[in-house]
Structure 1
Amino acid sequence: MRALLPLLILSSSLIVPPAGAQQRHNTNAPIDFGADHIELQDKANRAVLSGNVSVKQAEMTLNAARMTVAYTGQVVGGSPQVSRLDAAGGVTVRRPDQTAKSQYAIYDLNRRVITMLGAVTLTQGTNTVNGGRLTINLDTGRAVVDGSSVGGSSGAPGTGTTQQRGGRVTGTFSVPNRN
């Protein structure tokens, strides 16, 4: 089993280096989806998926209760070009050797970055890291967990969220059997 070490701890952040070259994600792969319901909002260049939403791209799967798919006005090969996925409600991202869970997630396809917010848990084997925010760079496989979190409705008017600083990153790392 691979450990998450070596790691670097900086100001309540945990940086988890890629476990190997296989962590690089094919962000050019098509995105397949399934949901109980879909609402197309063509004038707004988006689709809203709800109910057991599942999105798969290459070896990565993203599941949530609800997801908004934003696309550009460009059409290539008869298909609109997806630029962003916003997921909410029991979000789970599964990649080879890693699973991440949170309340919310944003997949920015242009930057090739997934940001997960709210009660984040990142698991690799028996190793677990918990925090408020997880950022995964799909090009490098690098995952950064920090203690920032998303709270209730005490933020800026109309936003419904507030970012709390100074949270902690916690977790458990397995150690090799030294018999």
Structure 2
Amino acid sequence: MRSIFAPAFIASSTAAFLAAAPVAAQQRHDSSAPIDFGADHIELQDKANRAVLAGNVSVKQADMTLNAARMTVSYTGQVVGGSPQVSRLDASGGVTVRRPDQTARSQYAIYDLNRRVVTMLGAVTLTQGGNTVNGGRLTMNMDTGRAVIDGSSVAGSRGSGVPGTVSQGGGRVTGTFSVPKRN
């Protein structure tokens, strides 16, 4: 893996769970840590100010890892300290975001660095310990740490709760919360 992108990248935390409420964030992610990436193929499209990573894409920053089949990295065209200034990242194909105690999966993910918001779309599954939440869309605000899962998904589709699929109708958020053992 090789670090090429300037600070500020993906996620603070994926999210922790609160029963019957929007998902709330864990600890904050170090967005100033170096970003390492690996892929089977990279195509630099300088005139379009983007790079396309394909095949077993893996991006790591601090304790967060993002894996996908394909990723498009858009940058502003400005270079600061030898690094392009990344403005947006689009990932597709079996997207997984991992933190030490959390894993989020979806079909697509968009990270808008200017707004500092990560949006995961299409059959989202978020797990932490014994807790699981399924929906169509997960939105994480990197500044506030707030994360929300809802039932809506891509182009009017709804998450089915089954990883890797998007189906019409429903639009519900489902899940399981673990309950501590009581005497």
TM-score normalised by L of structure 1: 0.82
**Number of the residue aligned with 1:80:** 84
Quote the offset at 1:138 in angstroms: 2.0
Q: How does 1:85-96 map to 2 (within 5 A)?
A: 85-96=89-100
Which structure 1 residue ranges, 4+ long, deviate > 6 Å from structure 2? none
CA distance in 2, matches of 1:112, 1:61: 17
CA distance in 2, matches of 1:130, 1:6: 13
**Number of the residue aligned with 1:157:** none
**Structure 1 range deviating more: 138-147 or 67-76:** 138-147
Q: CA RMSD in A?
A: 2.3
Higher strand share: 1
**Number of the residue aligned with 1:149:** 153
Of residues 16, 28, 32, the one that matches 2:23 is 16
CA distance in 1, matches of 2:25, 2:91: 24
Identity of counterpart residues, as a percentage? Answer: 85
**Structure 1 range deviating more: 25-34 or 92-101:** 25-34
Residue by residue, what CA displacement relative to the aligned partner does 1:149-172 show, whole Å, maximum 9, x if unpaired?
Answer: 22599xxxxxxxxxx786100000
User: Structure 2 regions of 5+ residues with no counterpart?
Assistant: 1-15, 158-167
SS state of the match for residue 140, structure 1? coil
Q: How does 1:24-173 map to 2 (within 5 A)?
A: 24-150=28-154, 167-173=171-177
In structure 2, do the counterparts of structure 1 residues 64 and 71 end up closer, same or farther at CA, with 3 Å as the change threshold? Answer: same
CA distance in 2, matches of 1:109, 1:94: 19
Quote the offset at 1:102 in angstroms: 0.2
TM-score normalised by L of structure 2: 0.80
In structure 2, do the counterparts of structure 1 residues 152 and 40 end up closer, same or farther at CA, with 3 Å as the change threshold? Answer: farther
Quote the offset at 1:142 in angstroms: 1.9
User: Structure 1 regions of 5+ residues with no counterpart?
Assistant: 9-14, 154-163
**Which of 1 and 2 has greater Rg?**
1
8 Å contact kept, 1:65–1:88: yes
